[in-house]
Amino acid sequence: MKSTKKDIRALTKEQLRDFFISKGDKAFRGNQVYEWLWSKSAYTFEAMTNLSKATREMLQEHFVINHIEVDDMQRSKDGTVKNAVRLHDGLVVESVLIPTETRTTACVSSQVGCSLDCKFCATARLKRMRNLNADEIYDQVAAINKESLLYYNRKLSNIVFMGMGEPLMNYNNVIKSIEKITSDEGLGMSPKRITLSTSGVPKMIKKMADDEVKFNLAVSLHSAIDEKRTQIMPFNATFPLEELKGALQYWYQKTQRRITYEYVVWGGINDQKEDIEALIQFCKYVPCKVNLIEYNPIDDGAFQQADEHAINNYISNLEMHGIVVNVRRSRGKDIDAACGQLANKS
């Protein structure tokens, strides 16, 4: 049953301090509770052991602690870990821990389902059920940080917003979560190690630039030809490439930070010379690099990864034009944890 008590994590530190003052207690009690809730990720009032029993009971009377629950955890042969995360209202999202030799990356979700309709992505089929709040995003990161310590004996080093959902369609909560992740009262991570990946919502890319965010930007491009991009990412009809280009130039002008383009090459879709030429042209607009992502099949085979020849063609032509290109192998495919495969199958 859903509680009618207020979620204590919706309170700012100042509000918590005021609450204790209103109860005739000391303001610093608010700081203590805040620390428990955030940097220590306490999910019960009992766990807050430096508070008196009476204080803990008083909190219990007034508040609940809404938090995520890692319902199910799968480990891939390659070390990737996928969490099925249950939210307080019973909905489920997925997040992924991706280890390499030197790093642990968390791939987190920003929405339950997705607002967009990319034809090659399993999450799109779920449609958008709701936005995650900032705490739910933060909790995914905190949970993966714990798993990283447990399994790899090191802290989480990087975060990518490449799980379920379109982060720029849930902007305020994503920004709030990043503020907490990067603050010393949260996880104290550097924004330079965080990448937000978007399908490209021009207005919001400009807003991020105006807000002077310090994290990195990746754009899921997949085609630099409008008609083709609209076929595979229908929202491109609303936000065509010309507008995207304008927003990216604005971003670069304000932030001076290079953009990453994510790009999958599919056989019979974007594997021709004209596709490569259009991409090279698009790459001239702002300093950037291209990540060629391996396709993770989601179903019947309407989309198929292009053959090696086509991929090599991309690589050699991009490099010939001085464009930095990386090939990104999929991780966690055996547990449906790879890009575009997050769809709550279990």
Q: How far is the CB of 297 from ligand SAH (least distance, A)?
A: 7
Contact residues for 203 (Cβ-Cβ < 8 A; gap 6+): 247
Q: How far is the CB of 198 from ligand SAH (least distance, A)?
A: 5
Distance CA 95, CA 164 (A): 8
Contact residues for 134 (Cβ-Cβ < 8 A; gap 6+): 172, 173, 174, 176, 177, 180
The verdict on 162 binding ligand SAH (CB under 6 A) reads yes
Q: Which of 126, 241, 339, 343 touches ligand SAH (CB under 6 A)? A: 339
The first and second tokens of residue 177, run together, are 């979560």
Q: Which of 33, 209, 298, 343 touches ligand SAH (CB under 6 A)? A: 298
Please identify, among the stretches 21-29, 184-192, 197-205, 316-324, the one whose residues bind ligand SAH according to the rule CB under 6 A: 197-205
Helix axes 202-210 and 171-182, enclosed angle (nearest 10):
40
Element spanning 276, H or E = helix 273-283
The verdict on 85 binding ligand SAH (CB under 6 A) reads no
Q: Is 339 a catalytic residue?
A: yes
Give the binding-site size for ligand SAH (rule: CB under 6 A): 16
Q: Which of 247, 293, 318, 323 touches ligand SAH (CB under 6 A)? A: 293
Number of helical H runs and strand E runs in the chain:
10, 14
Q: Mask of contacts with ligand SAH, 235-274, x by CB under 6 A?
A: ---------------------------x-x----------
Distance CA 126, CA 20 (A): 43
Element spanning 280, H or E = helix 273-283
Pseudo-torsion of CA 96, 204, 221, 305, nearest 10°? 30
CB-count burial class (<10 Å; 0-12, 13-18, 19+) for 9: buried
194-198: strand order across its sheet: 69-75, 81-86, 92-99, 104-107, 158-161, 194-198, 216-220, 259-263, 288-293, 324-328
The verdict on 202 binding ligand SAH (CB under 6 A) reads no
Q: How far is the CB of 96 from ligand SAH (least distance, A)?
A: 11
Looking at the Cβ atoms of 197 and 223, the one nearer to ligand SAH is 197
Q: How far is the CB of 209 from ligand SAH (least distance, A)?
A: 17
Considering only residues 207-226, where is the footprint of ligand SAH by CB under 6 A? 220
The verdict on 305 binding ligand SAH (CB under 6 A) reads no
Looking at the Cβ atoms of 9 and 128, the one nearer to ligand SAH is 128
Which candidate in 94, 136, 147, 262 is catalytic?
94
Query: Whose CA is closest to 216, among 187, 182, 170?
Result: 182
Contact residues for 81 (Cβ-Cβ < 8 A; gap 6+): 73, 74, 75, 96, 97, 144, 147, 151, 332, 337
The verdict on 121 binding ligand SAH (CB under 6 A) reads yes
Q: How far is the CB of 264 from ligand SAH (least distance, A)?
A: 5
Looking at the Cβ atoms of 66 and 341, the one nearer to ligand SAH is 341
Please identify, among the stretches 15-23, 64-72, 196-204, 279-287, the one whose residues bind ligand SAH according to the rule CB under 6 A: 196-204
Q: How far is the CB of 31 from ligand SAH (least distance, A)?
A: 35
Distance CA 69, CA 240 (A): 39
Q: Which of 166, 271, 275, 336 touches ligand SAH (CB under 6 A)? A: 166
Exposed e or buried b per residue across 237-269, where buried means at least 16 C-beta atoms within 10 angstroms of its C-beta: eebebebbbebbebbbeebebebbbbbbbbeeb
The verdict on 295 binding ligand SAH (CB under 6 A) reads yes
Looking at the Cβ atoms of 66 and 140, the one nearer to ligand SAH is 140
Looking at the Cβ atoms of 37 and 126, the one nearer to ligand SAH is 126
Distance CA 36, CA 47 (A): 8
What is the set of active-site residues?
Answer: 94, 339
**Interacting residue ranges for ligand SAH, rule: CB under 6 A:** 120-121, 162, 166, 197-199, 220, 262, 264, 293, 295-296, 298, 339-340
